[in-house]
Structure 1
Amino acid sequence: MPPASSHSSDTGVLPAEASVDAGAPVQRPAHGLLARTLGRILGPVTDPVLRILVTATLIGRVGRGIVLTVSVLYFTLIVGLSAGEVAIILSASSAAGVVASFGGGWLADRLPARPLLFAFTALDGLGILGYAAASDFVAALTVGLAVGTFGQAANSARMAILARAFAPETRVHARAVLRTVTNVSIAVGSGIGAIALAIGTPDAYRILLVVAGLAYLLALVRLVRLPASVDLRPEAPVGEIRTATGSIDAVANRRALRRAAAAHSPFRDPRYLLLTALTAVFGMQFGVGELAVPLWITNETDAPVVLVAVLGFINTAIVVCFQVPLSRGTHDLRVAGRVSGIAAWLMAGACAVYATAAGLPAWFAAAVIVLAAIAHAFAEVLSQAGGWGLGFELADPVRVGTYQGVFGAGFSIGAMAAPLVVAGTTESLGTLGWGILAAVFLAAGLGTRAIARRAARTARTATAGS
């Protein structure tokens, strides 16, 4: 996002939209319960670029919530696909997203990120509209591949904009604000999606999928107003390259530029690759909440099944209320490492507590699971905050888009592996499986903390020696 602006205003409301070219935004109280609630949680959003991205996210992610709620049942009940065919579509979409995450970041280092974000978001919305027209497996698979590709490519372009347009001390805050808004919008979209589930007719499903696609396209009205400043990016030092080649020959200099770009590649940065891998492993905690815990409650405990919905509400509430405040300061490597370590212990503890719910009386099992879910939610919030800070701070600014693309691709790989690793472990090994997961999350989180501490020491040494 653009140059960092101060977020010190204490009005406690989300200000009304103002033109990016109009100078300082006019502070007006936002209306409506949702706006007032968001204003209290997020604080005043005074930066014009952040304001544009916030409103675009509020609109577009409602569509995401609708798709998450209705897509699987739409494929099975309306299109008539088998469970295996739906699994293939979801897996293929995720795999396409892994490749697109890196590709979108790579393009954002070579082309202006603003039109890329606009184009990818538009194509993502058109893909979701295509769901409503899908009538067989091949059509649904094609649309799923398109949505997975363009959705992740858009996310990489957005991350490149965040990394370039904000100063280090505010870009993690901006990322936290967007994640909070995303959770709120998805919750709203899920509620809207429930309408289709209640009505149950093919037309109800298709109409809501069209609404979801239109929400993405409506968000473009805001994205088109992003200023050209978000496309500014550091360039390779051409003068040094010419000196190194000893020639002004165009071919020689192009080769030298390619070598310089390769030197800034994340694939030649083992520390960043290790960080990406550890973050991806810890990111499998999402699979714990989405799959392992519901299965554990249903198959291994006497807790009521309705508890699954309660846990979803608890998680959303904690993320919405605490993601922004607990992300403050994580641009500092030491703080990012500290919160990553805390997240590691919280997640390990949550796994251990989930395991103890088996065999307990229903009310006691429910209380134990709620306690674990609260620790799990805070582990999620803190791990995200630490990961964002390190992902931004340890990236090479010359190729920030590619670095963010690799970081996002790693997370996508972790998300793909989560269902097999997480659910398979707990379902096959029971309590022992939960113990293994606790050890895995603890190792990943503490490994992330170790990377942050070493990077902080290196930075202090370099500063002292300069």
Structure 2
Amino acid sequence: MTLQDAPHPIALKPSLRTRIAQSLSDPLLRALVASTAVSRIGRGVFLSVTVLYFTLIIGLSAGEAAVVLAVSSAFGVLASFLGGWLADRWSARRMTFVFEAVGAVLLATYAFANTFVAALVIATLAGFFDTIAHSSRSAIIARGFAPDKRVHARAVLRTVTNLSIAIGSGIAAIALALGTPEAYRAVIVGAGVIGILGTLPLLRLPESVDAPTRSVEPVRTETGSIDTLTTADAVRAARADWRRRSPWRDRRYLLLTLLSAVFGMQFGVAELGVPLWITTRTTAPEVVVAVILILNTALVVLFQVRASRGTHDVRTAGRVTLIAGWLMAAACIVYALAAGLPTWVAIAVLLSAAVLHTFAEILSQAGAWGLSFELADSVRAGAYQGVFGMGFSVGALAAPILVNATAITYGLVGWVVLAALFLASAAGIWLIARRAAEQPVLRASDAAEAADAS
């Protein structure tokens, strides 16, 4: 047998441990993963006990608790853009460390709140600083990773986030089981301490994740002295270029942000619509809500990284978003069909809808990450990510109102409206991506440069 006739070795697929090790070989991703893994455990503890702590321990009414959460979310809208804006001017790594640490300290102070006003102030400040830090993290990812690695990094971090929140929810179950004020306050303080510990790995982030220094070299004459007038003109030109690169001048990116915010309201369907639908319109037991949450977490952990491969390509990102739109539309219809069915049939239908919904979530997130990075101006990465995050915050704020006004109020007809809305927004994103891939649209800054050159 000749060498040419010898059988070729079979390429073996790397094991899960090997793939994880390869992902964490990057020191930047390793630091972000370590920080996320620890800090999100604390966030998982807090999310699991928040509403019950407000109502059972502090004694707030359901309406007062809703006001606290709504006001906190409203301030998060402003914080999303502010965090990205600041990350283009200050050190993003120092900002993220400081604001996440402050947010964790404020989270711990919930244990000492005993009035509506105290809860409102703490919730507003904690949410504000945490959201600023989140936007700053997005700027770090945009600058710190190569274009084909950014979405992978986001997918890995989202997977870690889901695992950590699940662990945090398990810790919170201790307080829920004991039901005493002391138990609630102990786990809340513990969540804050865990959050502070989660900021320590951020100290290892490299300086490369910070925005480039904005400076203009002084223009000198032939004799070596500084030409004041020419230097002043250069400074004004640099400032004008900076303003031209604002995301608020980029109509394509603003439309992408709007449509992504609309599709992002699918999280409101999961958090509010599905629990209310199960408990008010179906014969399924309430425990199905928890089962769906566990199913969602497991599928995200298993498939988010895999589904995100290749979505740094604009065309691919648009295509997976359109698939997500069809899946989400189908999920809405299947959720609606669970009403009035026998218990076990309703459970099976609801779980089927939850699977469709989760894969729509996974694919839509992968597409959104890819497009939000690739269609942004790299010079103003922080501001662009801040605007995109602000869109999601607005969507999260509007989602409860929309879901209640459609699916919960009108049943099947309302679910059909939601299905059409999600499919239309996904189709719009797909069109933006397709046109960007075929004929990129000049941003305001690029158009100005082209005009100056001509």
Aligned to 1:424: 405
Q: Is 2:117 the partner of 1:138?
A: yes
Are the counterparts in 2 of residues 10 and 44 from structure 1 also a CA contact under 8 Å? no
2:183 counterpart letter in structure 1: A
Deviations 1:172-201 (A, max 9, x none): 000000000000000000110111111111
Q: What percentage of residue pairs aligned between the two structures are identical? A: 57
- The whole-number CA distance in structure 2 between the counterparts of 1:411 and 1:236 is 33
SS in 2 for 1:224: helix
Aligned to 1:356: 337
After superposition, the Cα gap between the structure-2 partners of 1:360 and 1:9, relative to the gap in structure 1 and judged at 3 Å, is: closer
Deviations 1:228-268 (A, max 9, x none): 2222538588799xxxxx97455544433332111001100
After superposition, the Cα gap between the structure-2 partners of 1:237 and 1:324, relative to the gap in structure 1 and judged at 3 Å, is: farther
Aligned to 2:140: 161
Q: Is 2:266 the partner of 1:264?
A: no
Aligned to 1:129: 108
Partner residue of 1:414 out of 387, 395, 403:
395
Q: Is 2:256 the partner of 1:275?
A: yes
After superposition, the Cα gap between the structure-2 partners of 1:9 and 1:56, relative to the gap in structure 1 and judged at 3 Å, is: farther
Q: Is 2:278 the partner of 1:297?
A: yes
How far off its partner does 1:407 sit?
Answer: 0.3
How far off its partner does 1:299 sit?
Answer: 1.2
Are the counterparts in 2 of residues 127 and 147 from structure 1 also a CA contact under 8 Å? yes
Are the counterparts in 1 of residues 89 and 211 from structure 2 also a CA contact under 8 Å? no
Aligned to 1:375: 356
Are the counterparts in 1 of residues 87 and 211 from structure 2 also a CA contact under 8 Å? no
User: How many residues end up aligned between the 2 structures?
Assistant: 424
Aligned to 1:16: none
Aligned to 1:51: 30
1:200 counterpart letter in structure 2: G
Aligned to 1:108: 87
- The whole-number CA distance in structure 2 between the counterparts of 1:269 and 1:235 is 21
Residue ranges of structure 1 left out of the alignment (5+ in a row): 1-7, 14-38, 241-245, 462-466
How far off its partner does 1:294 sit?
Answer: 1.3
Are the counterparts in 2 of residues 61 and 189 from structure 1 also a CA contact under 8 Å? yes
Are the counterparts in 2 of residues 172 and 327 from structure 1 also a CA contact under 8 Å? yes
How far off its partner does 1:423 sit?
Answer: 2.4
- The whole-number CA distance in structure 1 between the counterparts of 2:61 and 2:234 is 56
Q: Is 2:297 the partner of 1:316?
A: yes
How far off its partner does 1:291 sit?
Answer: 1.1
How far off its partner does 1:311 sit?
Answer: 0.7
- The whole-number CA distance in structure 2 between the counterparts of 1:320 and 1:436 is 30
Aligned to 1:35: none
- The whole-number CA distance in structure 1 between the counterparts of 2:230 and 2:122 is 47
Aligned to 2:4: none
Aligned to 1:223: 202
Are the counterparts in 2 of residues 235 and 398 from structure 1 also a CA contact under 8 Å? no
After superposition, the Cα gap between the structure-2 partners of 1:285 and 1:362, relative to the gap in structure 1 and judged at 3 Å, is: same
Deviations 1:1-40 (A, max 9, x none): xxxxxxx994643xxxxxxxxxxxxxxxxxxxxxxxxx76
SS in 1 for 2:439: helix
Q: Is 2:49 the partner of 1:70?
A: yes
- RMSD (Å), alpha carbons: 2.2
Aligned to 2:127: 148
Larger Rg: 2
Are the counterparts in 2 of residues 164 and 233 from structure 1 also a CA contact under 8 Å? no
Aligned to 2:7: none
Deviations 1:308-333 (A, max 9, x none): 11111111111111000000110000
TM-score by length of 2: 0.89
TM-score by length of 1: 0.87
SS in 1 for 2:296: helix
Q: Is 2:267 the partner of 1:286?
A: yes
